[in-house]
Structure 1
Amino acid sequence: MFLDDVMQEYIYHCLAKGFTKKTMINKRQELKQLKSFLEEKRAITELENITIHDLKAYVRTKQSSGLKPQSIVSMFKMIKAFFSWCEKEEYIKENIAKKVETPKLPKKILKGFTIQEVDKMINSFTYKNYFEARNKAIIAMLSDCGLRAMEIRGLRTVNVKETTILVNGKGNKERYIFISPALKKILIKYERIKKEYFKGKTVSTDCYFLSYKGSELSHVGLDNVIKEAGRRAGIEDKRVSPHTFRHFFSVQCILNGIDIYTLSKLLGHSELQTTQTYLQSLEDLELINKAMASSPLMNLAK
């Protein structure tokens, strides 16, 4: 089969699976680069003619171009996904991309937020106007629910219930998240101020968090809210991002006794291995405290 035909079919498969616009752009770009390399450097135009040696050469080309190891690993995950799909569709006998080694990444400990820092960020915003109330609610929801940036931006008003939030995650997979009483208190105030602010104004979307124009909050807009929270709270030595809030949520869940399987569902992960990466970032002191609480001998002494 011609490589171009197979790649086009795979792109439509991914679109049908509901991948985000950003993911689709990355997939298209990476497959285009792979196709160009195979045609121009290896004289290959058909899927069946690709070998493990061709893919290894492709990785070496990326390395020699000065691309960072993390970028190469992320890039090759998309290549592996493509060949995995080809194997499932029986276009090839096996996923040869599995045999290709990518650069090893140093394990970095993510410096997460403390409870005190999160409290400072939430309380750095007030209820004096719509934007203050909205930003307070966003930071509180990120902290208490562990949502992705795309999930909080695309959250629909109709899906925010009395005690739960219906989240539309990656691949259009839905999951429910519990709303704690502490979060609900903030959301009630936000909803009241939001209703008053947009009275008589045109609102173009059902999104729960709105821009000043009444439209969906942009990626940059959300990032600005989060960065402002960190600035107001005086956080300088840590990355202030949706991912760090998601990490905070994960760590707090584990430390408070939630098992990894439940946490994986709460985070909307399709694979347990993805959730396990959050456990690797637990700081030594947190691990010691957790180990002490679960010590068999200590529990026998109670």
Structure 2
Amino acid sequence: MKLDETVKHYLRSLVTRRLSPHTQLAYSYALNLLMRLLADICGVTDLERITVLHLRECVQYLLTESVEVQKSRRPPENGSTLSAGSVCDYIRRWKTFFTWCQREELIEKNPGTRLEYPKVDERIIDAFSVKQIEQMLSIFDLSTNEGFRDYVILLLMLDTGLRRSEVATIRVEDVHDTYVTVFGKGRQERQVGIHPEISNLLWKYIHKYRRPARADEPILFLSLGRGRVGLPFGRGGMGGLMSYLKSKTGIDDVRLSAHTFRHTFACMYLDAGGDVFSLSREMGHKDIKTTERYLRSFTSKNARLQHDSHSPINSIKLRSHKKPKK
């Protein structure tokens, strides 16, 4: 059975399963990349001929050679290789594909079962400081539709830790007095609490600043760009907002992205005494281990900030640095 035909059939199944367009695109790229590597490196184009050794060759190539990446991802700098984290993302989608092939009885053995993930270095993710947040919020003109919309979006992300895609797809009917209803990854519905001040700002945006192109437009945040006035703001609009913030504030010591707002929410939530279990539910994590990654970053950074007050050096009388008198 030809691999390309099987991939087409699998991608079609993602549509019927109602996976998001972004997820479908990610699987499409990962599997097309796999087909290209199998053909060019291993000379394999048939599904039944693929072995775990072939897949390991593909992984080794991705870890050691510079490859072309999709436009929506940041390319490796100066022709360097992909990060281990990016390679893990591809492997995860390959494994899902082969599991589906086995379940559909297209193959007897799953070649992805014994395929290992490369070890990924755990890095501390920096969060925004209060000063940086106030700096970003200060650039908006709240008397304009665009300025007020962007101001509300930033505060909503900071208050809830919503993903970029969740902010872009939230509907007017999802906004309630004390919470918003969100459809996250895997179309899992959850309720996320909002601060009373954010509730008031959302009400004001809906009734004063929101101008839909058609009366039945369900999406909450709408675009004001040329040719898209009154249409959904979308993921592209969210990306443009992050770029605008970076150009206006000059913040470069912290990655300016929607995910950093999500991480900042998690760190501030924990810093204010919130528990990890509640945080996990608020953020829509299926596994609390995912949330614990934020806790590791949070505890490490807080320990560093408290270092001076708890250092053993405080108990030691240091020698004078003054030069001895002649």
TM-score band, normalised by shorter chain: 0.7 to 0.9
Aligned CA distance change for structure 1 residues 283 and 227 (closer, same or farther; 3 Å) = farther
Give the 5 Å matches for 1:205-244.
205-212=217-224, 213-233=229-249, 235-244=251-260
Instruction: Work out which of the two has the higher radius of gyration on C-alpha atoms and give 1 or 2.
Output: 2
Q: Unaligned 5+ residue runs, structure 1?
A: 291-302
What is the aligned counterpart of 1:129 among 119, 128, 144? 144
Q: Deviations over 1:232-275 (max 9, x none)?
A: 55533111110000001111222333333332222222333333
Task: Please tell me whether residue 158 in structure 1 is matched to residue 158 in structure 2.
Answer: no
Instruction: For 2:89 and 2:220, locate their aligned partners in 1 and report how far apart those are by CA, in whole Å.
Output: 32
1:136 deviates by 0.8
What is the aligned counterpart of 2:82 among 68, 89, 92? 68
Contact 2:181 2:192 in 1 (8 A): yes
Aligned to 1:175: 190
Q: Deviations over 1:108-140 (max 9, x none)?
A: 211111233223323442421211111110000
Aligned to 2:309: none
1:90 deviates by 5.5
Aligned to 2:286: 270
Aligned to 2:53: 53
Instruction: For 1:90 and 1:10, locate their aligned partners in 2 and report how far apart those are by CA, in whole Å.
Output: 13
Contact 1:118 1:143 in 2 (8 A): no
Aligned to 2:23: 23
Contact 1:247 1:278 in 2 (8 A): yes
Identify which range, 145-154 or 70-79, moves more after superposition.
70-79
Q: Unaligned 5+ residue runs, structure 2?
A: 67-80, 307-326
1:95 deviates by 4.5
Instruction: For 2:98 and 2:10, locate their aligned partners in 1 and report how far apart those are by CA, in whole Å.
Output: 10
Quick one: higher RCO (CA 8 Å, sep 6+), 1 or 2? 1
Aligned to 2:203: 188
* One-letter amino acid matched to 1:78: R
Report which of the two has the higher share of helix. 1
Contact 2:41 2:58 in 1 (8 A): no
TM-score (norm 1): 0.82
Give the 5 Å matches for 1:69-108.
69=83, 70-89=85-104, 91-92=106-107, 95-108=110-123
Aligned CA distance change for structure 1 residues 192 and 126 (closer, same or farther; 3 Å) = farther
Task: Please tell me whether residue 112 in structure 1 is matched to residue 112 in structure 2.
Answer: no
Alignment coverage as a number of residue pairs: 287
2:298 is paired with a residue whose SS is coil
Contact 2:157 2:261 in 1 (8 A): yes
